[in-house]
A and B are shown apart, each in its own frame.
Chain A
Amino acid sequence: MSGKFNIDNIAQLARLKLTDAEKERLGGHLEQIIEYIDQLNRLDTEDVEPTSHVLPIHNVFREDEVSQSGATPDYLTGSPSHQKGHYEVPKII
């Protein structure tokens, strides 16, 4: 178990049920990722401009115009369960 993260907590946030073997294996992967980030953090980036997006573009917009896909029923019928136009899910409250 890494001192930097709690694999059970991360699995819970992602709603994943992991076996002990998977925890062992994925925990190792995560540890390597964090190790790599730490390595990046050690670099001197004093004079490097921060990257806010991998693409060198900004301000891509669409106009406020309506168009309807009209494909709703397909999504609804493709869902595991639905009722009177609504998606049915396990009781929340």
Chain B
Amino acid sequence: MRYEVVIGLEVHAQLKTQSKIFCSCPTEFGRPANENTCPICLGMPGVLPVLNKKALHLAMRACLATHCRIAPRNRFARKNYFYPDLPKGYQISQYELPLGLEGHINILINGTKKRIRLTRIHMEEDAGKLIHGENLGSPGHSYVDFNRTGVPLIEIVSEPDLRSAEEAREYLTQLKAILDYSEVSDCNMEEGSLRCDANISLRPVGQKALGTRTELKNLNSFRFVQRAIEYEVERQTQILEQGDQVIQETRLYDSTKGITFSMRSKEEAHDYRYFPEPDLVPVVVDNEWIEKIRKTLPELPEQKRERFVGEYDIPEYDAGVLTTSRAMANYYEECVSLHNEPKIISNWIMGELLRELKNNQHSIETCPVKPEGLISLLKLIDEGTINAKMGKTVFEDMYRTGKPAKAIVKEEGLTQIIDSSVIESLVDQVLESNPEQVEQYKGGKEKVFGFLVGQIMKESKGQANPSLVNKLLKERIS
């Protein structure tokens, strides 16, 4: 039987504030354990939480940037459960009256636009961090750091509209870009400011009712999200094909083994006994307020992508890659403003630049080659001083040493050979040492031409002007 994959994602994003959501403790990452805590976030008796206005503003920005309707009246609720990372015994969240409702995000799948609906966006506080054993004391204990407790989050819940691991990854990429552009969140997965849970189920193709789902937690990189979903889809397919039933449960992803496994905690059917948080008053938002915030939103990734396609005449795929982050889009636009070759620049960024960034684990912000540097290299190629192939080597050197393109070209003596007599002698040399191939070419095997060009380029150490090589070889051989 053929199955359809149904995925819904729940994404937690940390709001970019200085202080926590209900108290004045700093949200700064990497502080000594339990230093960013106070009686309010530790849940001491008699304290009074008060909502951080900036957190509300950022949450509203997220709603508007994802086309959510902002509820005119929303409020907080207590989600009650016992776990050591939760000092109060409840988490302050939003339940029946969340801030944002019924939004959507558009993703591009193989060049086709697909709309992924959002169920809701609500505000909540983060829980603490649990450390198990590890160098802190006895392996028989767990240890709690409450620095994260009370850090402001939004939870963005999608409808089960995603149909593959690839779509899930694309959705996350888009969502991250939107939160980055609108300056709602740093979206730093290593520091936990963007986290994702996935609900996955299968159903026979054509069936309307949803199958039994499992919830995957602990997916702390986009790659892991994709891999974990792929694994889970395979696992559920096998279960169903054997005629067995999928058990509804929470599973964790083990990134070293590449598998998901059941949490097997004694989850006596979740009963959070939500009730309205009496310590916090309702939030009332009118249209005037909403419009004021809407006006402060910058150009968003989708608009930027469409503008790039129209304004620079580059393929939608390129525009998509170049707009995945604000910094990347700015880098690109700065390059184009210095040198009006949008497609060539796009190729260099998507090829050489992204490869170096990835190999060196840099982000575009920490890239040692700035737009002016890249453009001065492209101009040397344009002017014919070096050819494109040499340019790639020069770029690698620029990236590694931080030296300008001109200096590298000079130091390495890397000027392109455009002297016809020099190239002619190289052509002769290669024809002489490859008589067999020359015969083949003359006998009609045109592919050999490419081989001969390659040999000549090699002889010139890559410095010959390729079009001149082509021209002179053709003259000599035919």
Using a CB–CB distance below 8 Å, which chain A residues touch chain B? 9, 12-13, 15, 52-55, 57-69, 71-72, 75-76, 81, 83-93
Query: Which of B39, B52, B142 is the one whose CB lies under 8 Å from A91?
Result: B142
**Interface: B284 (CB within 8 A):** yes
State which residues 131-162 of B face A: CB under 8 Å: 131-133, 136-137, 139-146
Which residues of A lie under 8 Å from residue B293 when comparing CB positions? none
* Docked-complex contact B17 and A64, CB < 8 angstroms: yes
- The answer to whether B32 touches A61 (Cβ under 8 A) is no
Given contacts A59-B284, A65-B18, A68-B26, contact A86 B144 (CB under 8 A): yes
Evaluate contact between B53 and A62: CB separation under 8 angstroms: yes
User: In whole angstroms, how far apart are the Cα atoms of A89 and B138 in the complex?
Assistant: 11
Least distance between B241 CB and chain A CB atoms (Å): 32
Please, which residues of chain B bring their CB within 8 A of the CB of A85? Answer: 32-35, 145
Quick check: B19 and A58 within 8 Å, CB to CB?
A: no
B contact face: mostly helix, strand, loop, or mixed = loop
Residue numbers in B under 8 Å from A59 (CB-CB): 281-284
**Interface residue tally for chain B (C-beta within 8 Å):** 54
Residue in A15, A53, A72, A93 whose Cβ sees the most chain B Cβ within 10 Å: A72
B contacts, CB < 8 Å to A? 17-19, 24-26, 32-39, 42, 44, 50-56, 73, 75, 80, 82-84, 97, 130-133, 136-137, 139-146, 268, 271, 273, 276, 278, 280-284
Are the C-beta atoms of B276 and A71 separated by less than 8 Å? Answer: no
Which residues of A are found within 8 Å of B52, using beta-carbon distances? 61-64
Contact for A87 among B18, B24, B82, B144, CB less than 8 A:
B144
* Complex contact B268–A12 (CB within 8 A): yes
Whether A86 pairs with B39 at a CB distance below 8 angstroms is no
Closest chain B residue, CB of each to CB of A67: B24
Q: What are 6 A-to-B residue pairs whose CB atoms are below 8 Å? A: A15-B82, A59-B282, A60-B51, A62-B53, A86-B144, A88-B142
Q: Which residues of B contact A54 (CB under 8 A)?
A: 278
Q: Do residues A64 and B19 form an inter-chain contact, with CB atoms below 8 A?
A: yes
B143–A89 touching, CB < 8 Å: yes
Known A13-B268, A52-B276, A83-B136; 15 more pairs at CB < 8 Å:
A52-B73, A60-B50, A60-B280, A63-B52, A63-B53, A63-B54, A68-B24, A69-B39, A76-B34, A84-B136, A85-B32, A85-B33, A89-B144, A91-B133, A92-B132
